[in-house]
């Protein structure tokens, strides 16, 4: 009854205000995917952890409405609550610097999406759900936000259009809450610290003061980890979703190259870049991926994907690991890293061994080791650098050329280097521009480039991940999310699905990660990755979900107290 009452009272007020015909209230189903809900009587969701489905239940029930304050819309309080939470911790308090800009049009979008929902129901499970975008994902300038990859050189530049993934989000009814700080140019500038950009400063992890959030989707990770947004999008070329997903206690999907559009995303390399969700649960990540996946005429790599985008929420099966064969390509992380043995990162190796036991308990056969035949060749290879250096120059030049306008006048990589050198106080070029310089020195699509590209696909795919899957008759591979474990999937363009694995213990020796950051540090999270062949996201999401539901590792530990925002829905509704 309560549900009906709330729904109708909101709609009647809307009707009075707008003369919009009131038709939907009685027929809007009060359940999502067959679940019975009566959120009208339920407590308000805690925004630190709130899932997309919890938020939808509240929205369906009109639960976030404050009639006292004449707030007639559910989405305005929800959006305001997230804005207030950002305000509390972004530049004040722990100064996490996770958000680079908020969307000045968000409240307007919230109002119109709310009115639409009252009249004709929700467009999708993302209707009204706030999303934060990494600052390399374009949004039309008229909305009020910049798209800069964190660089002052791109400030106030005008992009030709929304990114392909943003068009899909808007169509699904999502609210774009803001842009996330990142490692500038997605960490393709030089030896810059993870999570640092000229415009945004140093992003910090919320689990230990000044801890490394990992990069380059650092702000996407930190904002999601403490509920400054419902979900975020990140991008990965090699490790940039996987690593910050792990370091911030999240679930994330690095999709196969070509599953999600890169049109309108400030590029590194079309051969490796990919855009994916970073969320607090595999369920949320699956909901977002189902929306952003799909073909886009503006990114022809998407034509390689299977004809039908799966509904990834159909993969959410707690039994998914039962009977599966999961391989451990140990050489990938034993070589040249400190994840095992007695080093400061050994907690990761220890937790990983325990995770293998959980995977066995869930009915899977763990094949260990299940090494990639190419593991040693990958460790020795410099092919990826050749490909990325060459691609970046060509693609960033095209991006800069394609802008409608750019006040800095920067129209090429050479201009970008000159801008950084001319503005040391903004962009600290001394130590941070070496990758730009290496890329600028490349001379286009040489024979060596094509050879490197072909080797990469071969090393990551046919002699790498695909070879191991075939030789050991596996359904997927599993690895810690840190270190160089992302390289084989990066060079092959293959997917990775990451879930929380554990946290550094309180007695870990605190290390230095950059001028302003520490790593490892007590309580800082790390992740577990499931890997497979191209377009195997559906299966990987199932495996990750089964592991996540069995362990619920995310809930074991929260951010440090000052990094937990206090504003909740009740505070903006009262």
Give me the least distance between CB of 54 and ligand NAG, in Å please: 25
Could you say which of 11, 197, 204, 216 is catalytic?
216
Give me the least distance between CB of 27 and ligand NAG, in Å please: 40
Specify the DSSP element, H or E, that contains 525.
strand 525-531
- Confirm whether 33 is a catalytic residue: no
Give the nearer residue to ligand NAG in terms of CB position, either 164 or 200.
Answer: 200
Give me the least distance between CB of 117 and ligand NAG, in Å please: 27
d(C-alpha 229, C-alpha 98), whole Å: 11
Beta strand pairing status for 130-134 and 231-236?
parallel
Specify the DSSP element, H or E, that contains 119.
helix 106-120
Contacting residues for 149 by C-beta, under 8 A, at least 6 apart: 135, 136, 182, 184, 185, 186, 197, 266
Give the nearer residue to ligand NAG in terms of CB position, either 305 or 551.
Answer: 305
Give me the least distance between CB of 459 and ligand NAG, in Å please: 6
| Cβ(293)–Cβ(309) below 8 Å | yes
Strands (DSSP E) found in 158-260 = 175-180, 196-197, 201-202, 231-236, 251-254
d(C-alpha 473, C-alpha 364), whole Å: 13
Residue showing tokens 């997605």: 186
Give me the least distance between CB of 420 and ligand NAG, in Å please: 13
Helices 2-18, 106-120: crossing angle, 10 deg rounding: 110
- Confirm whether 240 is a catalytic residue: yes
Could you say which of 11, 194, 197, 240 is catalytic?
240
Give the nearer residue to ligand NAG in terms of CB position, either 197 or 549.
Answer: 197
d(C-alpha 348, C-alpha 504), whole Å: 8
Helices 383-402, 413-422: crossing angle, 10 deg rounding: 90
Give the nearer residue to ligand NAG in terms of CB position, either 74 or 90.
Answer: 90
3-state SS string over 379-448?
A: HHCCHHHHHHHHHHHHHHHHHHHHCCECCCCCCCHHHHHHHHHHCHHHHCHHHHCHHHHHHHCCCCCCHH
| Cβ(276)–Cβ(260) below 8 Å | yes
Cα dihedral value 407, 411, 414, 418, nearest 10:
-10
Helix, strand, coil in percent for the chain, rounding step 5: 40, 15, 45
Query: In terms of C-beta density within 10 A (0-12 exposed, 13-18 middle, 19 or more buried), how is residue 404 classed?
Result: exposed
- Confirm whether 134 is a catalytic residue: yes
Give the nearer residue to ligand NAG in terms of CB position, either 177 or 315.
Answer: 177
Give the nearer residue to ligand NAG in terms of CB position, either 97 or 127.
Answer: 97
Residue 276 in tokens = 């994916």
Give me the least distance between CB of 452 and ligand NAG, in Å please: 6
Could you say which of 11, 122, 134, 439 is catalytic?
134
Give the nearer residue to ligand NAG in terms of CB position, either 152 or 543.
Answer: 152
Give the nearer residue to ligand NAG in terms of CB position, either 352 or 455.
Answer: 455
**Binding site residues, ligand NAG, CB under 6 A:** 90-91, 97, 99-102, 141, 144-146, 155-156, 200-201, 300-301, 303-304, 341-342, 377, 381-383, 386, 430-431, 452, 455, 459, 505, 507, 509
Catalytically active residues, by annotation: 134, 216, 240
């Amino acid at each position: 009854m309560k549900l009906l009452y709330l729904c109708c009272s909101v709609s009647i007020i809307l009707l009075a205000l707008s003369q919009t015909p009131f038709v939907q209230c009685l027929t809007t189903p009060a359940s999502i995917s067959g679940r019975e809900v009566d959120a009208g009587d339920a407590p308000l969701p805690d925004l630190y952890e709130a899932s997309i489905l919890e938020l939808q239940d509240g929205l369906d029930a009109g639960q976030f409405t404050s009639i006292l304050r004449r707030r007639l819309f559910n989405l305005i309080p929800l959006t305001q609550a997230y804005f207030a939470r950002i305000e509390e911790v972004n530049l004040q308090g722990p100064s996490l610097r996770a958000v680079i800009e908020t969307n000045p049009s968000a409240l307007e979008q919230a109002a119109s999406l709310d009115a639409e929902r009252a009249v004709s129901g929700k467009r999708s499970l993302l209707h009204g759900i706030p999303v934060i975008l990494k600052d390399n994902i374009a949004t039309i300038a008229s909305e009020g936000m910049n798209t800069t990859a964190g660089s002052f050189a791109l400030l106030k530049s005008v992009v030709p259009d929304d990114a392909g993934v943003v068009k899909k989000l808007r169509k699904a009814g999502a609210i774009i809450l803001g842009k996330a700080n990142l490692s500038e140019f997605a960490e393709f500038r030089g030896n810059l610290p993870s999570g640092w950009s000229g415009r945004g400063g140093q992003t910090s992890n919320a689990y230990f003061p000044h801890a490394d959030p990992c990069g380059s989707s650092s702000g996407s990770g930190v904002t999601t980890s403490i509920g400054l947004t419902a979900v975020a999008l990140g991008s990965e070329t090699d490790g940039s979703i996987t690593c910050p997903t792990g370091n911030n206690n999240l679930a994330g999907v690095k999709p196969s190259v070509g599953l999600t559009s890169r049109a309108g995303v400030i590029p590194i390399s079309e051969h490796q870049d990919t855009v994916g969700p970073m969320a607090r649960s595999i369920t949320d990540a699956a909901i977002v991926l189902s929306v952003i996946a799909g073909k886009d005429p503006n990114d022809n790599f998407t034509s390689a994907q299977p004809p039908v985008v799966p509904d990834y929420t159909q993969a959410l099966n707690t039994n998914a690991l039962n009977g599966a064969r999961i391989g451990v390509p140990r050489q990938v992380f034993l070589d040249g890293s400190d994840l095992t043995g007695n080093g400061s990162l050994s907690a990761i190796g220890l937790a990983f061994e325990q995770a293998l036991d959980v995977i066995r308990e869930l009915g899977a056969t763990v094949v260990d080791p299940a090494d990639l035949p190419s593991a040693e060749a990958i460790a020795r290879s410099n092919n990826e650098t050749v490909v990325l250096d060459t691609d970046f120059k060509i693609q960033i030049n095209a991006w800069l050329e394609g802008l409608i306008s750019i006040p800095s006048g920067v129209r090429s990589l050479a201009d970008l280097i000159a801008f950084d050198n001319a503005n040391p106080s903004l962009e600290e070029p001394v130590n941070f521009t070496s990758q730009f310089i290496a890329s600028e020195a490349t001379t286009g699509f040489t024979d060596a480039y094509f050879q490197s590209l072909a080797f990469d696909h071969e090393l990551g795919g046919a002699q790498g991940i695909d070879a191991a899957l075939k030789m050991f008759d596996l359904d997927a591979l599993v690895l810690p999310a840190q270190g160089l474990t992302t390289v084989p999937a990066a060079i092959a363009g293959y997917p990775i699905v990451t879930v929380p694995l554990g946290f550094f213990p309180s007695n870990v020796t605190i290390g230095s990660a950059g001028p302003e950051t520490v790593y490892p540090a007590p309580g800082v999270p790390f992740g577990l990755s499931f890997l497979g062949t191209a377009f195997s996201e559906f299966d990987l999401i199932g495996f990750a979900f089964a592991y996540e539901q069995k362990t619920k590792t995310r809930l074991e530990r929260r951010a440090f107290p000052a990094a937990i925002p206090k504003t909740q829905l009740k505070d903006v509704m009262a």
